[in-house]
Chains A and B, each alone.
Chain A
């Protein structure tokens, strides 16, 4: 069963959608598996000032997408790099065991977006 926090983030997911001219983009998963996340970041002075996310996936995928953007906004890049699937799952008061991979996806997408940003800086 899903926690209340998961259900809230499913009913009213935050920061869903696209971003114009994102500073970093990260895509993980693929539709073949049934989960796909695409996260967009706005970064200023090493801080994530805005994040948007698109999700194709189940309740857990949508909830982890929503919570990850909320957690990421306001973080420095270093802090965001430390974000793990456990942090995401904890922020949602836990996920059913077979859905933990969704929280992994969300954290991965964030890291990929940061990597994307950093690779563009050089």
Chain B
């Protein structure tokens, strides 16, 4: 029994829950006014303390941090907010095809409103080419949005170099650091990004709270209208208990945590390498976050592996089309050039401080025979691939219509 899907979401740490409780039962006011009753004062104190902790973790001033409902919202504010604020300077945005949906669809929405988006190529590991970035920059480029680390394959982008390029040309740089935050150091005094997205639920804080780092003097149009919360950039009563939890989660992230995560991943790598055949690791071998292990295994399909492992008490995830709501395969595996029949066999295990080596032992003991069983009756076993050999007229993935 083990949960290896921490890049999807994480268990909330006991200490985080404990830190949050008083903000449900005692300091349950709002953070609007400092000179208010004690319920409000308690709330604002808690919120501002959390803000300070988050800022310190990036070596930044607390005024750079706004709380949001999560990475999706942070990405929307960052991308659409800067695009709109800078529309008189230009309408060209550069990003990558391996970003999350909130980045991609924010860009698509802007494309529909007269902006032009360039999607940089990524190599087989998912890394961008800095030269291609340089040559893609135009007179009218206003924003570059490139994730710090990929949540599916773990690959990290060279954001130090990227931001050097963008700042030289006075172009805004946004990075979605959801999967890299705390796992690698981010120092905003050295890495001068304008906007950084990060989220709580991946680091043992609750869901529904994220943050956006906004460098001083970065022009941004707000997405919502409302009161004066979060410097009017993101009005609305904040999720104070969750923000406090977020702060606590950051506070308790230990120096040893990342070393431990790396050791777990290395252990998983070794154990699987010694017993599984016909698979390969995905993502960059070195420039990657410590806690994500992802492979593609041949001849089998991801959802059946996921369900089989779940039956045995193990949680992992897959990028296979069959397992997605829309029957679309992972856009990341597609972007790194994996043929669809291979990417259907994708398996991702992602670790947290709660995982152990014993869990990995148990997992591998179940994984190998599970894969073997599926390979036994797979028609692809003999290496016979025949894509579109026959007319497949009836083979339509008819998704049920959403007629609400």
State the A residues within 8 Å of B (CB): 2, 7, 10-11, 13, 16-17, 27-38, 53-62, 97-98, 100-101, 104-105, 108
21 contacts between A and B (CB under 8 A): A10-B308, A16-B377, A17-B376, A27-B386, A27-B390, A30-B341, A30-B387, A30-B388, A30-B395, A33-B340, A34-B329, A55-B379, A56-B299, A56-B380, A57-B301, A57-B322, A59-B307, A97-B400, A98-B325, A101-B397, A108-B395
Interface centre among B340, B376, B377 (most CB of A within 10 A): B377
Bound Cα distance from A54 to B307, whole angstroms: 19
A61 partner residues in chain B, CB cutoff 8 A: 301, 304, 322
A97 partner residues in chain B, CB cutoff 8 A: 399-400
Bound Cα distance from A16 to B99, whole angstroms: 40
Contact B394 A98 (CB under 8 A): no
A17 partner residues in chain B, CB cutoff 8 A: 376-377
B303 partner residues in chain A, CB cutoff 8 A: 58-59
Known: A36-B379, A58-B302, A58-B304; 11 extra A-B contacts, CB below 8 A, are A27-B389, A30-B341, A34-B321, A35-B322, A53-B377, A56-B299, A58-B320, A58-B322, A61-B301, A98-B399, A104-B394
Bound Cα distance from A82 to B308, whole angstroms: 32
> Is B396 part of the binding interface, using a Cβ–Cβ cutoff of 8 Å?
yes
B386 partner residues in chain A, CB cutoff 8 A: 27, 30-31
Bound Cα distance from A16 to B376, whole angstroms: 8
Contact B398 A31 (CB under 8 A): no
Shortest beta-carbon distance from B257 to chain A in Å: 35
A38 partner residues in chain B, CB cutoff 8 A: 379
B390 partner residues in chain A, CB cutoff 8 A: 27-28
> Could you count the A-B residue pairs with CB atoms below 8 Å apart for me: how many are there?
109
B302 partner residues in chain A, CB cutoff 8 A: 58
Bound Cα distance from A29 to B101, whole angstroms: 29
A36 partner residues in chain B, CB cutoff 8 A: 379-380
Contact A34 B301 (CB under 8 A): yes
> Is B344 part of the binding interface, using a Cβ–Cβ cutoff of 8 Å?
yes
> Is B191 part of the binding interface, using a Cβ–Cβ cutoff of 8 Å?
no
B396 partner residues in chain A, CB cutoff 8 A: 101
Shortest beta-carbon distance from A89 to chain B in Å: 13
Bound Cα distance from A62 to B300, whole angstroms: 11
For the complex of A and B, list the 4 residue pairs with the smallest distance between their C-beta atoms, beginning with the closest: A31-B341, A58-B322, A16-B377, A97-B400
Contact B388 A32 (CB under 8 A): yes
Q: Which residue of B lies closest to A30 (CB)?
A: B387
Bound Cα distance from A28 to B396, whole angstroms: 12
